[in-house]
Amino acid sequence: MEWASNEIIGILSYLLPGFVSAWIFYGLTSYPKPSQFERIIQALIFTIITQGCVIVIRWLSVKIGKYTNSPFEWNDNVSLVVSILMAIIIGLFFARFANNDKIHKCLRVMKFTKETSFPSEWFAAFSQQETYIVLHLIDNKRLYGWPVEWPSVPNEGHFSIAEVEWLDDKNKRIKLKDVSNILIPAAEVKYIEFMKIKERGKDNES
């Protein structure tokens, strides 16, 4: 029984860096969290990447120690600390490139894929276009403004809109005096228009 417990602890310790990377990745991106089985598979993949980096770092440490005549003692504690640090770096690395689409952009140029790194078209639209928007509500009202925050997925959460103006039937803007921001439930929005104005405060139209 004790042997089995030690085996379980050893497996969990081995997979820990992968779980750390996955936790950081899903904490910093809008990707939906997968099932428990898929999380284990992803943790294993992150663990393999992390352990590969640890092997390289250990090899470099030994080589540098021999070169400088100051041997470095590598033990389990050092290996654990290095693997956790690498897991954090790897999680941040994957999260960064999942949020900016740069790797997929290069792959699209080379005709390897037509996909983006974003979890959905909804997320891609808001990530790639920083501009004023018009929210078309289910009661046929239209709200113009600058999106400060928006939901990661449709029909959940709220839009936080600054520089708020209502639009009438003739596209005339009706400013809301003394209003800093307004929250609109995503479930109340039918569709969204993205304006061509790319800088906040540059909209001088009447």
- pLDDT digits over 162-183, tens only? 999 999 888 888 888 888 899 9
Return the axis-axis angle of helices 36-67 and 76-100, rounded to nearest 10°.
Answer: 120
Residue 162 lies in a domain: yes
pLDDT at 202: 63
Same domain? For 132 and 81 the reply is no
Cα(151)–Cα(149) distance, integer angstroms = 7
Residue with tokens 């980096």: 53
CB 122 within 8 A of CB 153: yes
Range of the domain at 95: 2-109
Amino acid of residue 142 = R
> Could you tell me the CATH number of the domain that includes residue 173?
2.30.30.100
Task: Give whole-number Cα distances, 60 to 53, 165, 169, in Å.
Answer: 11, 60, 69
Same domain? For 60 and 145 the reply is no
Among 87, 109, 131, identify where a domain stops. Answer: 109
Residue 199 lies in a domain: no
Cα(49)–Cα(71) distance, integer angstroms = 26
Same domain? For 47 and 19 the reply is yes
- pLDDT digits over 92-129, tens only? 999 998 888 888 889 899 999 888 888 888 888 888 88
Q: Which two tokens stand for residue 76?
A: 């389990």
Residue 203 lies in a domain: no
Same domain? For 165 and 71 the reply is no
Q: Which two tokens stand for residue 57?
A: 């770092």
Average pLDDT over residues 61-80: 79
Cα(58)–Cα(35) distance, integer angstroms = 34
- pLDDT digits over 189-205, tens only? 999 999 887 667 666 55
Same domain? For 28 and 127 the reply is no
Q: How many domains does the chain have?
A: 2
3-class SS string, 102-124:
HHHHHHHHCCCCCCCCCCCHHHH
Residue 114 lies in a domain: no
- pLDDT digits over 26-69, tens only? 999 888 888 888 888 888 899 999 999 999 999 888 888 777 77
Same domain? For 127 and 101 the reply is no
Cα(189)–Cα(135) distance, integer angstroms = 6
At 91, is the secondary structure helix, strand, or coil?
Answer: helix
Residue 202 lies in a domain: no
Same domain? For 104 and 9 the reply is yes
Task: Give whole-number Cα distances, 37 to 28, 43, 98, 105, 176, in Å.
Answer: 21, 10, 22, 30, 50
pLDDT at 119: 84
Same domain? For 16 and 100 the reply is yes
Same domain? For 62 and 159 the reply is no
CB 159 within 8 A of CB 186: yes
Residue 146 lies in a domain: yes
Cα(192)–Cα(125) distance, integer angstroms = 10
